[in-house]
Structure formats: C-alpha cells, structure tokens
Amino acid sequence: MTASPGPIAGGGGRPEPCAAIPAVVLGGTGYVAGELLRLIAAHPRLRVAAVMSDSQPGEPLADAFPHLGAVYGDTSFKPQAEIQELLVSAAQCAVFSAAPHGVSAPLIDSLLTAAASAGKRPRVVDISADFRFRSAAQYEAVYRHPHGAPGRLQEFTCAVPEHLARLETPHVAHPGCFSTATLLASVPLLSLELAVPALFVAGVTGSTGSGRKPVCGTHHPLRHSDLYAYNVLSHRHAPEITACARAASGVEAQFAFVPHSGPFARGIHVTVQAQLARPLDTAGVLAALRRFYAHSPFVRVTGNAPRVKDVATTNYAHLSAASDGRTVAVTCAIDNLNKGAAGGAVQWMNRMFGWPETEGLTAPAAGWT
Ligand SMILES: NC(=O)c1ccc[n+]([C@@H]2O[C@H](COP(=O)([O-])OP(=O)(O)OC[C@H]3O[C@@H](n4cnc5c(N)ncnc54)[C@H](OP(=O)(O)O)[C@@H]3O)[C@@H](O)[C@H]2O)c1
C-alpha cells in the first residue's frame, strides 16, 4: 500500500486538454446522484451526457434537484434504453452508478454488455455496495440475496484512492461513506504497525446517509435534535471495512463498529481507538499520519479536532489523533455525500482517465452551513 496514487494500468491514454468526456449517472433522482451532478457541472473535463431515472424518465432534473436548476434547467431524466444507446455510440464514457445495492450490479452488467457488443469500454465507478467484495459468497453472506452480476466482480477494485497507488481493474467500487472515514483513520495505524489490529470504531452520520426516501427510523424529523446508536456491532459496512483495510494494509484487523445517527443532514464523524503497539505520544502519531498522507491532496492532518462543518460539501477529509501512551484515538470528518460518495467517485474517475486527481474537486467548504 502507498499513499501516492498513479494512473491505472492500461488506461486509455491522456485526452486532449479540455476534451469533455460524456458522463452518465445512474440512480438519477437520489441524493448521491444530485451531488454527482453538482460536481460534474463544475468539472473541466466531464460533461453530463445523460442521467438515468427508473422512476421519473422524461421528467426535468430541476424538479428533483431545484438547487441545480440554473445548470440543468433544460435537462430531463432518461430511461435505461436511451442510456444504453449512448454507451453504444460514445467513444469514451464515464459511468457513475448511484443506484441502490442489488439494483446497481445487474444494471451495470447489462449496460457494459451492450457497450462491449459495439466495441466500447466505458469506465464505471459503482457507489453502491454491489462490487465491494471479491466474491459473490461474501456479498451474499452480508446482503442475503444473490449477487446480480457475479461474473463482473473481478473487474472491480474497492478502495479509497488514497490507499491504492495503481489500479489494476477497469472499474472501481467506492467503499462508501462510513468506510471511507474509518479507512482513512485506520489504515495508517495498521500499515505502520502503530496499533494492535483490534480497532473500536464509533461513527456518526448525517441523515442524507439514508437517501432520499423517508422511512421510519431514518426520517429527518425523527433524527434531528437526537443522537442514537443503531446496528451496534452488526452493521453491514463492518465486513466491507475489514476487507478494504486488509487489502490496503495487508493486516487482518478486527473492527468493532458502532454507527450512530447524528442530528445533522450532511457529514460523517468517526473515532477509531486501539491499543498502541509501541509507545508513541500524540506528536508522534500526528507526525506518522502526516507522513502517511503527505502526497494525498484531500487529506489534512491537524492538531485540532476535525469538525463536520469544516468539510461539509467538500471532498476533503480532516484527521487528527491523540495518544495517552497506551491507547491511540484517531478522529476523522468527511462529507458523506461528497468524499464519502460522489466526490470520491469523481476522484477515482479522474485517475482512471489519467487526469490530475484533484480535477473539479478543490472547492473549499462554505463554512457555517
Ligand atoms: N447517501 C449517502 O451518503 C451514501 C454514501 C455512500 C454510498 N451511498 C450509496 O449510494 C447509492 C445511492 O445512495 P442515495 O443516498 O443517493 O440513495 P437514494 O437517495 O435512495 O437514491 C437512490 C436512487 O436509485 C434509484 N433506484 C433505482 N431502482 C431503485 C429501487 N428499486 N429502489 C430504490 N431506488 C431505486 C432511484 O432513482 P431513479 O428512480 O431516479 O432511478 C433512487 O432515487 C446507494 O447504493 C447507497 O448505499 C450512499
């Protein structure tokens, strides 16, 4: 594992400056799709070519995303058949899937099969959980339904960009929001052998983490002004975190994960605690984290406690740490929809097309949101 990324093996060459690659977004009316559309609107090398909606084909994007109306006022959602036509005809294409798990894999499979029949090889970043495991059996043990495209699992790598120098597969599975924050905090502890590989993780997420559809238990009126744990030590992301941490660090670690619902809309805050493997004070841990992420433009290691508001709406991650000589605690704040989903996906797509990793992603936080 290394913290300095590079272009992917066999990447399709560097496009001409300012050539805009058509981007396709699946799961079009969802929260993550909305964040993808916001980011792509400001991206110098991507342009939105089509946004698929299963539930609202033909309807204006601006109805689902009024905050994006000034950019996408004339654009409507497309049905799957039109997305397929585009992929069959476009020389290159960047596909982002923000569909739910279980839906994403068969959809991506069908689109890639159609594109391949015309000799086209679009690049895919799947933000759902469908391609996070290497085997269908691992997926099925967690998600309790058959995998939708087991034949494609080896075409995807699941990692945060900061933890993989060279991508060897044509497509990427985004690890997700809780996992991104947990991995950014944990992998240095494991890779540098700073901590005993038994980690205790408390994570707090904002309500957008549960998506657009309000259901009992995740609906914002029930969550605001409240704080509570859920799926304690049994959350579906724990095995995904374990697998990603193993791939990134080479260490088989245990993660005791306790997620919480936070009283805010955007953001994730994670605290990872472990027993130190050797004596190290706070300054030593901070210095190790800074060295580890020295070439990671989106990771900022700070002596101050990371705050969700300082990273909300951005692709940045703020990390800090403390040690009492026996126990180390690393804290991390990210935006769940951006770094934890859409921004991390664009970061990967930048690398897949051989562009600077930061392209279109460096806008600072608004502050006081
Ligand atoms: N929210 C986060 O913070 C976050 C972070 C990391 C990863 N993720 C993952 O990213 C994906 C999108 O998350 P989200 O928060 O944007 O979810 P969401 O708001 O619920 O949106 C998902 C979209 O998928 C589409 N869809 C297609 N078939 C569907 C079906 N059978 N049931 C429900 N929706 C269906 C719908 O759009 P159309 O009807 O327009 O097609 C829906 O709006 C999920 O896989 C999620 O696990 C989310």
Model confidence over 276-310: pLDDT tens digits?
A: 999 999 999 999 999 999 999 999 999 999 999 99
Pocket of ligand 1 (CB under 6 A): 27-33, 53-56, 98-101, 103, 127-128, 176-177, 208-209, 211-213, 336-337, 340-341
Q: What whole-number distance in Å separates Cα of residue 161 and Cα of residue 104?
A: 21
For ligand 1, atom 3: residue with the closest CA: 209
Residue 344: enclosing H or E segment and its boundaries?
helix 343-352
Q: How far is the CA of 274 from the centre of ligand 1 (A)?
A: 33
Q: What pLDDT was estimated at residue 5?
A: 35
Q: How far is the CA of 192 from the centre of ligand 1 (A)?
A: 36
Average pLDDT over residues 96-111: 98
For ligand 1, atom 46: residue with the closest CA: 128
Residue 107 identity: L
Q: How far is the CA of 139 from the centre of ligand 1 (A)?
A: 18
Do the strands 123-126 and 327-334 form a parallel or antiparallel pair, or are they unpaired?
unpaired
User: Quick one: angle between helices 31-41 and 343-352, nearest 10?
Assistant: 50
Share of the chain above pLDDT 90, in %: 91
Q: How far is the CA of 4 from the centre of ligand 1 (A)?
A: 31
Q: How many other CB atoms sit within 10 Å of the CB of residue 339?
A: 29
Average pLDDT over residues 17-34: 91
**List 93, 158, 177, 332, catalytic entry:** 177
Write the DSSP string, 111-153. HHHHHHHTT---EEEE-SSTTSSSSHHHHHHHH-S--S-GGGG
Which ligand 1 atom is at minimum distance from the Cα of 54?
41
- Return the best residue to mutate from 39, 55, 96 for the ligand 1 pocket (most ligand atoms within 8 A of CB): 55
Residues facing residue 205 across a β-bridge: 261, 268
- Return the best residue to mutate from 37, 54, 235 for the ligand 1 pocket (most ligand atoms within 8 A of CB): 54
Do the strands 228-229 and 198-205 form a parallel or antiparallel pair, or are they unpaired?
unpaired
216 is catalytic: no
Confidence of residue 36 (pLDDT cuts 50, 70, 90): very high
Mean model confidence pLDDT for the chain: 94
Which ligand 1 atom is at minimum distance from the Cα of 213?
20
- Compute the C-alpha angle 295/8/104, nearest 5°: 105
Which ligand 1 atom is at minimum distance from the Cα of 100?
45
For ligand 1, atom 33: residue with the closest CA: 100
User: Quick one: angle between helices 104-117 and 80-89, nearest 10?
Assistant: 40
* Residues 321 and 331: beta-carbon distance below 8 Å: yes
Long-range contact set of residues 279-283: C-beta below 8 Å, sequence gap at least 24:
279/325, 280/194, 280/323, 280/325, 280/328, 281/323, 281/325, 282/321, 282/322, 282/323
* Residues 112 and 148: beta-carbon distance below 8 Å: no
Give the 3-state secondary structure of residue 324: coil
* Confidence (pTM): 0.95
Q: Domain ranges for the chain, please list them.
A: 21-175+339-352, 178-336
Q: What pLDDT was estimated at residue 366?
A: 92
Confidence of residue 18 (pLDDT cuts 50, 70, 90): low
Chain-centre distance for alpha carbon 363: 17
Residue 115 identity: A
Look at 11-15, 65-69, 318-322 and tell me which has the smallest mean pLDDT.
11-15
According to CATH, the superfamily of the domain at 178-336 is: Dihydrodipicolinate Reductase; domain 2 (3.30.360.10)
Q: What whole-number distance in Å separates Cα of residue 282 and Cα of residue 284?
A: 5
Q: How far is the CA of 5 from the centre of ligand 1 (A)?
A: 29
Which residue would you say has higher pLDDT here, 215 or 342? Answer: 342
Q: What are phi and psi of 28, to 5 degrees?
A: -60, -35
User: Is the domain 21-175+339-352 a CATH 3.40.50.720 member?
Assistant: yes
User: Quick one: angle between helices 136-143 and 237-249, nearest 10?
Assistant: 150
Q: How far is the CA of 27 from the centre of ligand 1 (A)?
A: 6
